[in-house]
């Protein structure tokens, strides 16, 4: 009996020791996550600083080098170097620093600050952000928090530490099948919009901005002969555990439901186990820049629940106009709701501007940017688009509006304080656009 109690006591001690070790591991994981979040915040700050300062700072480095050389060149240190040229010995007094700055001077003059120009084009902040996100993905895979009670609430800031596109994928059969069905639904919606407007996608250059965790809807268009491009600030990287299964299921779905489509673009991706230019071109670039996409090269631009997340809509729409061909089409479904709680779609209009800016940055724009439909209409027109049609398709509930409007009217800090309630009622809609001739844009 005593021996049995002793064994049970040993087991209990071992369990307690393991539990203590798990607690230590959890604490270390929390520390790692804290450091990764700090790296990510620093990367975002660096990106914003480089965007604001631009290449001028690097050009300034050129002249700084010249000034430093001019100051330090006259210095003489005691180090002597004996140079023997053939049979003649020459004694020179040289400083290592003088040699360094002389070489710097020659390099800057001869290169005409080309290296600085090159450095200015490199998005260092985005590179650091990508590294931080990759490290966090590795951490998530190695140390998944199995307990559901430890998972952050979708509305908490912990949920928003990482953009959705860079988060770990759910690779279960049900999840992959659901993603395929959703991508097919959006892709068919895109096709319907094209056919309704008598546009043949074959050989058309089609850009989808903000494609999400997979590029299924865009690749469905490529199966109809379109030359497809995707661009996203947080471009979802290839996931060998998720994407091959997703695209194989999508191929099977297309063959079964759209037999007239050519699935060779998907076959090529599956063969290479990666995205290839022959099937799709991918650009990790925010809509405000669309770096790498040639001016006036795109026939059609699609987006689905994306434009409400952009940081600077005015600049973004000018960027869309830049890459669009004259007469090019735009089809944009925009969800103007406060994404933190879809049943209370206007709550973020009551936030202080500074408070909302912080919230928006921490959530990577995933809460929505507070612009309203008529404001987007003006910005589209200013950028050089004609609004062919706007169709409102989601409306705020009357009960919600009745209790929200008095609060809005009482809040003097909102630019929407006295907006008509009928305008506020529209919380989602679809824009059909055409690009004007660029010469007509003021």
Q: Which residues contact 28 (CB under 8 A, 6 or more apart)?
A: none
206 touches 299 (CB < 8 A) = yes
Give the Cα separation of 250 and 34 in Å (integer).
38
Percent of the chain's residues with pLDDT above 70 = 63
Angle value at C-alpha 188, between 345 and 259, nearest 5 degrees: 160
Helix (H) or strand (E) holding 317: helix 313-323
Per-residue pLDDT, 3: 55
Give the Cα separation of 237 and 113 in Å (integer).
34
290 touches 312 (CB < 8 A) = no
Domains of the chain by start residue, with CATH: 1-145 (no CATH), 172-440 (3.40.50.150)
pLDDT digits 0-9 by tens, 242-277? 999 999 999 999 999 999 999 999 999 999 999 999
230 touches 280 (CB < 8 A) = yes
Average pLDDT estimate for 69-73: 53
Q: Retrieve residue 1's tokens.
A: 């009996």
pLDDT confidence tier of residue 166, bands split at 50, 70 and 90: confident
**Cβ-count burial of 61 within 10 angstroms (0-12 exposed, 13-18 middle, 19+ buried)?**
middle
């Amino acid at each position: 009996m005593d021996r049995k109690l002793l064994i049970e006591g040993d087991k209990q001690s071992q369990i307690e020791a393991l539990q203590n070790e798990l607690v230590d591991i959890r604490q270390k994981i929390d520390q790692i996550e804290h450091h990764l979040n700090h790296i990510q915040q620093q990367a975002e700050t660096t990106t914003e600083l480089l965007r604001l300062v631009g290449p001028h700072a690097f050009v300034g480095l050129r002249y700084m080098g010249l000034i430093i050389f001019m100051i330090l060149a006259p210095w003489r240190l005691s180090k002597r170097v004996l140079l023997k040229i053939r049979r003649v010995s020459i004694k020179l007094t040289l400083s290592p620093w003088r040699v360094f700055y002389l070489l710097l001077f020659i390099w800057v003059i001869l290169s005409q600050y080309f290296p600085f120009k090159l450095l200015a084009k490199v998005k260092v902040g985005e590179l650091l952000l990508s590294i931080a996100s990759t490290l966090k993905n590795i951490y998530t895979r190695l140390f998944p928090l199995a307990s559901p009670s430890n998972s952050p609430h979708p509305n908490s800031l912990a949920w928003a530490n990482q953009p959705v596109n860079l988060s770990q994928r759910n690779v279960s059969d049900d999840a992959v099948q659901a993603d395929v069905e959703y991508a097919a639904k959006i892709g068919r919606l895109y096709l319907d919009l094209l056919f309704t407007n008598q546009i043949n996608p074959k050989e058309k250059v089609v850009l989808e901005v903000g494609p999400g965790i997979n590029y299924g809807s865009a690749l469905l268009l490529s199966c109809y002969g379109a030359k497809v491009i995707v661009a996203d600030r947080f471009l979802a990287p290839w996931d060998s555990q998720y994407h091959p299964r997703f695209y194989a299921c999508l191929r099977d779905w297309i063959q079964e439901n759209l037999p007239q489509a050519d699935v060779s673009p998907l076959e090529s991706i599956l063969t290479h186990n990666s995205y290839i230019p022959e099937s799709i071109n991918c650009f990790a670039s925010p809509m405000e820049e669309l770096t790498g996409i040639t001016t006036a090269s795109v026939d059609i631009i699609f987006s689905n629940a994306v434009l409400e997340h952009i940081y600077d809509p005015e600049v973004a729409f000018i960027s869309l106009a830049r890459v669009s061909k004259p007469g090019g089409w735009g089809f944009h479904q925009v969800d103007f709701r406060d994404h933190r709680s879809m049943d209370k779609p206007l709550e973020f209009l009551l936030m202080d501007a500074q408070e909302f800016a912080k919230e928006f940055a921490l959530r990577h724009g995933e809460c929505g940017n507070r612009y309203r439909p008529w404001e987007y209409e003006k910005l589209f027109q200013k950028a050089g688009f004609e609004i062919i049609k706007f169709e409102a398709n989601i409306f705020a509930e009357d009960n919600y509006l009745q209790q929200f409007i008095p609060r809005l009217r009482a809040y003097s800090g909102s630019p929407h304080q006295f907006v008509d309630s009928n305008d506020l009622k529209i919380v989602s809609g679809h824009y059909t656009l055409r690009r004007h001739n660029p010469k007509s844009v003021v």
